[in-house]
Amino acid sequence: MRLMVTGGAGFIGSNFVRYWIENHPGDQVVVFDALTYAGSLSSLVDLEGSYKFVHADIGNTELARSAIQDNKIEVVVNFAAESHNSLAILDPSKFFKTNVMGTQGLLEACRHSDIERFHHVSTCEVYGDLELDSPDAFTEFSPYLPRTPYNASKAGADHAVRAYHLTFGVPISITNCSNNYGRYQFPEKVIPLFVTNALDDKPLPLYASTQNKREWIHALDHAAAIDAVINKGKPGETYHVGTGVEKSIEEIANLVLDGLSKPRSLKTIVPDRPSHDRRYLLDSSKIRSELGWEPAVGFEDGLRDVIDWYKQNRSWWEPLKAKAPVVEGQSWSQSSS
């Protein structure tokens, strides 16, 4: 199989590239990435020679089409996105440009090429949030009710993907996934932020709503789920990818601090960001029953591996800390320049 992975130098994308090369060694992989602040080829340095790299933005339809056609790409997997909710509050236009118009540009390239599948990676956050004590979970039929600019931009991308399938016959599939964690995650996100701060005895910034929950999945389990959808899923279908494992922000902080033998006094409370979603939980019974996928990495085992990896790989994450465009706890009244 010949795949093009957009956003393949980012966190989840690089884990997917790593997974695919290890599990499908005979396949050709093209990484298509704009290398924004959150994307780095250092995440793939040990895989050099195993993939081809194209430095470009998904919104550049002509470059995307050339990459697809020149490399005879059969499957496009779209991870490319701006994904940091806090930054989306400060600079929402960037998110709509990349996540909606960028995705549309990539779809346009695909509809003029002979591809077998366009797989789009989405998020649980398009559905809005759930009450903390709710027994409910989002299904593939839940209405879209995004509450933040990031969530809305991802919802818009999903709608564009479905429209290109129904209008132009592009063979698409979509996965909506829960919160990912794993190696090579940019240290602006909560788990690597907590780990790297704790390693340096710096405060761990917890939003005031410390009991807000997220469902967590290891990035390699997510990659295996996409593999199942590409190879066994039906064109036009949406599949939820989740584990059912929920942890509050305070639970995450405690696990990180305990795992590093650091005092819990490092926890510090910062103001909530606007429209801070309370809880997400996906019903992932469809992908399990229809495609036979199951998560393989237990949360606490996976978290221990992540903590150990960041301890051992300062040279990867230290240069990235200075590139983080948002300091959690800052004034949310800032606007984009």
Report how far apart, in Å, the C-alpha atoms of 137 and of each of 132, 216, 279 are: 11, 14, 10
Q: Please say whether the beta carbons of 17 and 44 come within 8 A.
A: yes
Tell me what pLDDT residue 205 has.
Answer: 95
Tell me what pLDDT residue 336 has.
Answer: 39
Pick the closest to residue 279 from 128, 74, 79 (CA basis): 128
Q: pLDDT-based confidence at 330, cuts 50/70/90?
A: low
- Paired tokens of 312: 């051992």
Tell me what pLDDT residue 331 has.
Answer: 53
Average pLDDT over residues 188-210: 94
Contacts of 285 (CB under 8 A, 6+ apart): none
Tell me what pLDDT residue 272 has.
Answer: 79
The 3-state DSSP class for residue 7 equals coil
pLDDT in tens, 31-40: 999 999 888 9
The 3-state secondary structure of 125-159 reads HHHCCCCCCCCCCECCCCCCCCCCHHHHHHHHHHH
Higher pLDDT, 21 or 273: 21
Tell me what pLDDT residue 327 has.
Answer: 66
Tell me what pLDDT residue 337 has.
Answer: 36
Tell me what pLDDT residue 191 has.
Answer: 97
Q: What are φ and ψ of residue 172, in 5° steps?
A: -110, 165
| Domains defined along the chain, listed by start | 2-184+217-244+276-297 (3.40.50.720)
Q: What is the dihedral of CA 151, 275, 88, 316, to 10 degrees?
A: -90
Torsional class of 182: left (φ above 0), alpha (ψ -120 to 50), beta (otherwise)? left
Q: pLDDT-based confidence at 179, cuts 50/70/90?
A: very high
Report how far apart, in Å, the C-alpha atoms of 214 and of each of 124, 308, 318 are: 10, 22, 26
Average pLDDT over residues 155-172: 98
Average pLDDT over residues 48-63: 96
Tell me what pLDDT residue 326 has.
Answer: 67
Average pLDDT over residues 299-320: 96
- Paired tokens of 20: 């695919």
Pick the closest to residue 216 from 238, 185, 237 (CA basis): 185
Provide the 8-state DSSP code for 279. B
Mean per-residue pLDDT of the chain: 93
Tell me what pLDDT residue 329 has.
Answer: 58
- Write the DSSP string, 155-204: HHHHHHHHHHHHHH---EEEEEE-EEE-TT--TTSHHHHHHHHHHTT--E
Return the number of other C-beta atoms located less than 10 Å from residue 224's C-beta: 19
What is the rounded CA–CA span in Å between residue 9 and residue 15?
9
Higher pLDDT, 271 or 158: 158
Q: Please say whether the beta carbons of 291 and 238 come within 8 A.
A: no
Average pLDDT over residues 180-207: 96
What is the rounded CA–CA span in Å between residue 77 and residue 6?
6
User: Does position 308 have pLDDT exceeding 90, yes or no?
Assistant: yes
pLDDT in tens, 64-80: 999 999 999 999 999 99
User: Does position 98 have pLDDT exceeding 70, yes or no?
Assistant: yes
Q: pLDDT-based confidence at 210, cuts 50/70/90?
A: confident
